[in-house]
Amino acid sequence: MAPTLSVLTRYPSFRRLFLAELVVFGSDWFVMVPLLVLLNDLTGRGIWGALVLATDTGISALLLPYTGTIADRFDRKKIMIAANLAALVGVLLLFGVRTAGATWLAVATVGAVAVAKAFYSPAASAALPNLVEPVDLSAANAVAGSAWGTMAVVGASLGGVLSAAFNAYTCFAVAALSLAGAAALVMRIDRPMQDDRDGRLPPARTFAAIGEALRFIGRRPRVLALVTVKSAVGLGNGVLTIFPVLAVMFGAGPLGTGLLFAVRGAGALVGPLLMRRVLTHRSWLLPGLAISMATYGVAYFGVALVRWFPLVLALVLVAHLAGGGNWVMSNYALQAVVPDRLRGRVFATDMMLATLAIAVSQLAVGALVDSLSVRVLVAGCGAVTLLYAAGWRLATARLSLAEPASSAAEPASSAVESHMPSREPAVVPPDPSQ
């Protein structure tokens, strides 16, 4: 653990990015958990919470192909600062959600904040490998992968506690101040966030730039496998829509909702750190991804069966341990094999597929939440993830990330690769024992 965390002390720019991510993710949870509880209190229906979650993920998914291109063409630092300030303005609009008739404003505001996050996310993901040396990329990914989980624990639990002790609007104020702090942290990053030493930029036309990235993905089976792996957990993520209803079923109320989101975040925090050793063995990555997906599905099957709330919390923790590991393993592998000039667009495609899967799942669960039992919906989410995991593993069984890039299964020669920047982040070499 100590060598992994040392990247925070040895790389000041990476430390500032990590702290900014903590603040951004924390503000996200300070908004979302109290807002879901508020909408449930104002309307007495689960559909509004589902619409908010689906809007959050769906709008980001639709915009990511474009925002990924922006992350490759323009200054990533400026993009991130502008996105944080735009999200701050959006959060302030939530103070207008006071009655059942104003619930549409919550959906519209969350949509506006989702636009800002769609610009922020690919820029931050694409910038990370430029803030550390290649040998420390796996450690940086393990640490960065824990940021979301850390603040899901803090933001979700505190959001639930403050919402119960005061009100949702107090949480919205904290979130707005946090976003201002995140913008200030990004301003202090002094290391270049993209490699432009060769003087080349992606094509000026957005669709041409997107097409270049899609061709890069489509011609490389291993890259295609990596950008589709997050969709398994995404398709099971509709279960988050019914966290408030699940908490009410167990008599836990707003505090229970906060605890469910908090243990979800704890899993996402610990999962990437547990996967640190897997990242140093490339041949373990694809089997590890399949196992992580299956674990997520099995854990939520368990949630559908148990009757004791502490055990529900434990199973949610296990599910998102696996989900967090899945995320960091796929991110690390993509950062290692995708050149800097394409990284923003490839990560945007990766996140687009994942968030589209989440949005579809949330809309489906939201449409059924008022007509089917909570346990049936939770079991359904687990089953979808398990089926996807089995299909994905069958489709990728003959692939291996331990193979050299020039293997027959993945052609190395292309116009894109001929322009790879000289400082492409290297992966940790495979274990000699493999």
Q: What is the pLDDT of residue 39?
A: 84
Query: From CA 76, how far away is CA 13, in angstroms rounded?
Result: 13
Q: What is the pLDDT of residue 83?
A: 92
Q: What is the pLDDT of residue 118?
A: 85
Residue 3: is its pLDDT beyond 90? no
Q: What is the pLDDT of residue 198?
A: 45
Q: What is the pLDDT of residue 220?
A: 77
Q: Exposed (0-12), middle (13-18) or buried (19+): which is 247, by Cβ within 10 Å?
A: buried
Residue 417: is its pLDDT beyond 60? no
Question: In the predicted model, what is the mean pLDDT of residues 412-429?
Answer: 35
> pLDDT of 23-47, one tens digit each?
888 787 778 878 887 887 787 776 7
Q: What is the pLDDT of residue 79?
A: 92
Structure tokens, 127: 């910038």
CA distances from residue 231 to 135, 289, 300, 326 in whole angstroms, order as listed? 29, 12, 16, 10
Q: For residue 86, what is the enclosing H or E element?
A: helix 76-93
Query: From CA 315, how far away is CA 305, in angstroms rounded?
Result: 11
Categorize the per-residue pLDDT at 85 as very low, low, confident or very high, splitting at 50, 70 and 90: very high
Structure tokens, 41: 């209190």
Can you give the pTM of this predicted structure? Answer: 0.62
Say what percent of the chain tops pLDDT 70: 80
Query: From CA 46, how far away is CA 53, in angstroms rounded?
Result: 11
> pLDDT of 12-27, one tens digit each?
888 898 888 888 887 8
Count of alpha carbons within 13 angstroms of residue 120, beta-carbon side: 25
How far separated are the first and last CA of the chain, in Å rounded?
24
Q: What is the pLDDT of residue 197?
A: 44
Query: From CA 351, how far away is CA 235, in angstroms rounded?
Result: 13
Structure tokens, 391: 């299909």
Structure tokens, 168: 């949702």
Count of alpha carbons within 13 angstroms of residue 65, beta-carbon side: 14
Number of H helices, E strands in the chain: 18, 0
Q: What is the pLDDT of residue 214?
A: 77
Quote the crossing angle between the two packed helices 103-127 and 12-43, to the nearest 10°: 160
Question: In the predicted model, what is the mean pLDDT of residues 209-223?
Answer: 76
Query: From CA 137, how far away is CA 309, in angstroms rounded?
Result: 39
More confident residue, 23 or 65: 23
Query: From CA 403, how far away is CA 48, in angstroms rounded?
Result: 48
More confident residue, 12 or 332: 12
Owner of token pair 């899967």: 357
Range with the poorest average pLDDT among 354-358, 363-367, 421-425:
421-425
Identify the structural domains of the chain with CATH numbers, from first to last.
Answer: 12-189+214-404 (1.20.1250.20)
Dihedral angle at the C-alpha atoms of 416, 419, 422, 424, nearest 10 degrees?
-20
Q: What is the 3-state secondary structure (H, E, C) of 280-328?
A: CCHHHHHHHHHHHHHHHHHHHHHHHHCCCHHHHHHHHHHHHHHHHHHHH
Q: What is the CA radius of gyration of the chain?
A: 21
Q: What is the pLDDT of residue 196?
A: 57
CA distances from residue 353 to 53, 55, 66, 233, 326 in whole angstroms, order as listed? 16, 15, 14, 11, 15
